[in-house]
Chains A and B, each alone.
Chain A
């Protein structure tokens, strides 16, 4: 963010603002799947997940003059921290407690619904931190080092927890393996 003090021309400010808005859209689109996936595992339905996602990015917009200068891993770590903070908000907790399971909100094909239900249920059996690790690994395709950077933990810890989560998930999702019984 440029220092828009008394000596900055109006033209450069306008240009900067337009650039910032375009940059933010790129930032949003690059990270929205991760944030939305994490929100879905923390909330009880897609509407609240979207609400949580938008709140997270609204905070990002408010702080974009800082965030825009950071490395992508640091930006993602900030988004995850913010999402966690918003989720633990007492008011939001109360709202989420009143809602229906994820699968109730899914309206597409039966197979897709079954898959999402099984995935949601399988993930629900993991600790929140382990869910985040699994999502970053399998939805975002990050390696253990990258996950460690985003979540602020040693790479070895990520590997150990991921291994334990794999074992826990294996049984619940086995039917979706090629040739599995559905």
Chain B
């Protein structure tokens, strides 16, 4: 088999084998957001990166303007 033939074969076979249809990608993303919402460590790290004190963060997330995900997942702080 020539190199180009092999290249084409591998690209086709591997591309097909690891193809990620849009629906599967969407499902993976939804699965990830669920995992993330349940993982306090993930949100703590993200909140810490904002360099907010716990007191100020608590005050901030109690406001309606704050994204619901933050209200739900940072309320424990």
Evaluate contact between B29 and A134: CB separation under 8 angstroms.
no
The CA-CA distance from A25 to B67 in the complex, in Å, is 16
The CA-CA distance from A54 to B35 in the complex, in Å, is 8
The CA-CA distance from A141 to B22 in the complex, in Å, is 19
A1 at the binding interface (Cβ < 8 Å) = yes
Which DSSP category, helix, strand, loop or mixed, fits chain A's interface?
Answer: helix
B 22-58 binary contact with A (CB < 8 Å = 1; else 0) = 0001001101100110010110011001111000100
Evaluate contact between A1 and B50: CB separation under 8 angstroms.
yes
Evaluate contact between B20 and A32: CB separation under 8 angstroms.
yes
A interface, size bucket: 35 or more
Evaluate contact between B18 and A135: CB separation under 8 angstroms.
yes
Closest A residue by C-beta to B27: A50
- Which of A7-15, A73-81, A82-90 forms contacts with chain B? A7-15
* Interface positions of B (Cβ within 8 A of A): 1, 3, 5-7, 9-18, 20, 25, 28-29, 31-32, 35-36, 39, 41-42, 45-46, 49-52, 56, 60, 63, 65-67, 69-70
**Sample of 6 A–B contacts (CB below 8 Å):** A5-B51, A6-B56, A8-B50, A20-B46, A54-B28, A63-B45
